[in-house]
Amino acid sequence: MKKDFWVGLFLCCLFLLFTACKQGGETKSLVTKGGSEPVVATINDKEITLSEFVDRLKEYPALAHGGAMDAETKKGFLDNLIVREVLFQEALRGGIDKEKDTASFIEEMRKRIIVDKFFKKEVDEKVKVSEEDVKKFYNEHPEEVKSPNEVRASHILLKTREEAEQVLKKIKEGTKFDVLAKKFSIDPGNKESGGDLGFFSQGMMVPEFDAVAFKLNTGEVSEIVQTRFGFHIIKVVEKKEGKQKAFEESKTEIEKKLLSKKRKEKFDILIAELKSKSKITINNDVLMRTEKKGTPDEK
């Protein structure tokens, strides 16, 4: 809303500027050669029209986040466009666009842009997910719309296995876990809280730690677990089983998942059809002569 307001205000200001200049007899420098659109600047024969300038202006971070631009910032932004155009024109005069590597890069980017537009037209715009699709998935796949299982654990982190073995022995002899954590753990983040890590779901900890923590029962203490951080002794304090999310809570996630699946299916069908219509020849002899780095052998 804010963004539209500022862009609209800026357009009005430019329109008023154009009108004022026209009345003062300066219409020629502010209108395209065809006389149909105001011109913000001209660099040799290249005109930057009002609509082009505003399109570029929309990319400016301040406006993109609903902010405003003062006159000096607008002038600076326009100067950036002028500098780019001056450099572009000089590069063309020097034949940069005709150089082999530049021409290849331009052609590659052209293909990517065209393919991307084609993909959006033939796949993205034709794939839809209805409310019924989302509800059906929600009802038929309850296990996929659950909140994750969580574990609350404490740990004692030691530098060496020998130190860990000594601490583990004390635990088995009856010394309280939190007391030993405060005394021996080298993890500054939770040492003073007795090694308490709070609740976490699978994937939040390093794999070795994760695998052990989710296998332990509540109140159980692990054997020594080695990770890149050192040697851990883990105690599970509490477990929470994931619960099925409400429909509204999981609706967006399901829609994204279904859209992704349908896009892939549509894409696979499209590619199969296009390949069936195309004459494709692969020269395996040449293919097998390529080096590992992907360039042909030179003889």
Which residue in 58, 52, 54 sits closest to 3, CA to CA? Answer: 58
Q: What's the pLDDT score for residue 30?
A: 53
Q: Hey, where are the domains in the chain?
A: 2-98, 129-147+245-299, 148-240
Res 35: pLDDT: 58
CB atoms within 10 A of CB 177: 21
Q: pLDDT truncated to tens, each residue of the chain (299 aa)?
A: 444 433 443 333 333 333 333 333 333 445 555 557 899 999 999 999 999 988 888 777 766 556 677 788 888 889 999 999 999 999 999 999 999 999 999 999 999 999 999 999 999 999 999 999 999 999 999 888 888 899 999 999 999 999 999 999 999 999 999 999 999 999 999 999 999 999 999 999 999 999 999 999 999 999 999 999 999 999 999 999 988 889 999 999 999 999 999 999 999 999 999 999 999 999 988 888 876 555 555 44
**Pick from 178, 206, 205: nearest CA to 192:** 178
DSSP state of 142: G
CATH 3.10.50.40 fits 148-240, yes or no: yes
pLDDT value of position 295: 53
Tell me what pLDDT residue 237 has. 96
Q: Which of 37, 48, 43, 41 is nearest to 15 (CA)?
A: 37
In angstroms, what CA-CA distances link 280 with 243, 271, 274, 276? 51, 13, 11, 9
Distance between CA atoms of 128 and 293, rounded to whole angstroms?
41
